[in-house]
């Protein structure tokens, strides 16, 4: 029997190397890249994430609140809330300024809700990219 | 804030545009590669959008 050689696990880089850029990337879309002196990419990420979030608001999308119920309800509402939260300061500003939109029928509202969650998920991709740049895995 | 009324097609095109921008920026390592990948992903989004749109139209009869 042949045994596969175990892939050697790389040690986790210290938090102070990647922590500030990932935290800033979460709070301000593109902020992590700006901190790492990738201003062009930072601008594009900000434009894409903030643009998608603003369009979601203009389409009167719904912001999720975490709700526990059956499995599907929990996945949709907790997952949606986490997705919204990943937009960072955009989400906090929206809540602070008192944006409320009940869940309504209609394709425009529905797209708006998806845009708001997707903006947060795109910001997660930007955070992962900032992490990889910070630890030197990417240029 | 103004209220936006978009068709399915317009909303899906905007979604494709922003998503392909981010995917292009975070996926490739050179600027040229990022532009090419972003355009390719945007093209795939549009192709899938039109193909699935026709599929639904034909499926509904």
The mean pLDDT values, 10 residues at a time, for chain A of 139 residues are: 68 89 96 95 97 95 92 94 96 93 85 96 96 91
Give the pLDDT band of residue B61 (cuts 50, 70, 90): low
| pTM, to two decimals | 0.90
- How close does chain A come to B15, measured CA to CA in Å? 7
Please give the residue of chain B at the shortest CA–CA distance from A139: B29
pLDDT of residue A8: 76
Helix A15-27 × helix A107-134 angle, to 10°: 160
pLDDT of residue A55: 95
Give the pLDDT band of residue B3 (cuts 50, 70, 90): confident
What are the distances in angstroms from CA A50 to CA A23, A62, A100, B19? 17, 16, 19, 12
Would you list which residues of chain B are within 8 Å, Cβ to Cβ, of chain A?
Answer: 1-6, 8, 11, 14-15, 18-19, 21-23, 25-26, 29, 31
């Amino acid at each position: 029997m042949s045994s596969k050689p175990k892939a050697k696990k790389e040690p986790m880089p210290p938090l102070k190397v990647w922590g500030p850029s990932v935290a800033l990337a979460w709070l301000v879309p593109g902020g992590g890249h700006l901190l790492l002196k990738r201003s062009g990419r930072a601008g594009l990420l900000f434009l894409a994430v903030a643009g998608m979030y603003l369009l979601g608001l203009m389409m009167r999308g719904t912001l999720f609140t975490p709700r526990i119920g059956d499995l599907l309800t929990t996945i949709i509402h907790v997952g949606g809330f986490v997705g919204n939260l990943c937009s960072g300061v955009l989400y906090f500003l929206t809540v602070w300024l008192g944006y409320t939109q009940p869940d309504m029928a209609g394709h425009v509202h529905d797209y708006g809700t998806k845009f708001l969650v997707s903006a947060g998920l795109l910001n997660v991709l930007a955070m992962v990219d900032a992490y990889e740049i910070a630890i030197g895995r990417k240029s | 804030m103004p209220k936006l009324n978009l068709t399915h097609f317009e909303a899906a095109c905007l979604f494709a545009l922003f998503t392909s921008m981010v995917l292009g920026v975070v996926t490739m390592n050179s600027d040229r590669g990022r532009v090419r990948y972003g355009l390719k992903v945007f093209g795939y989004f549009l192709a899938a959008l039109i193909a699935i749109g026709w599929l639904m139209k034909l499926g509904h009869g």
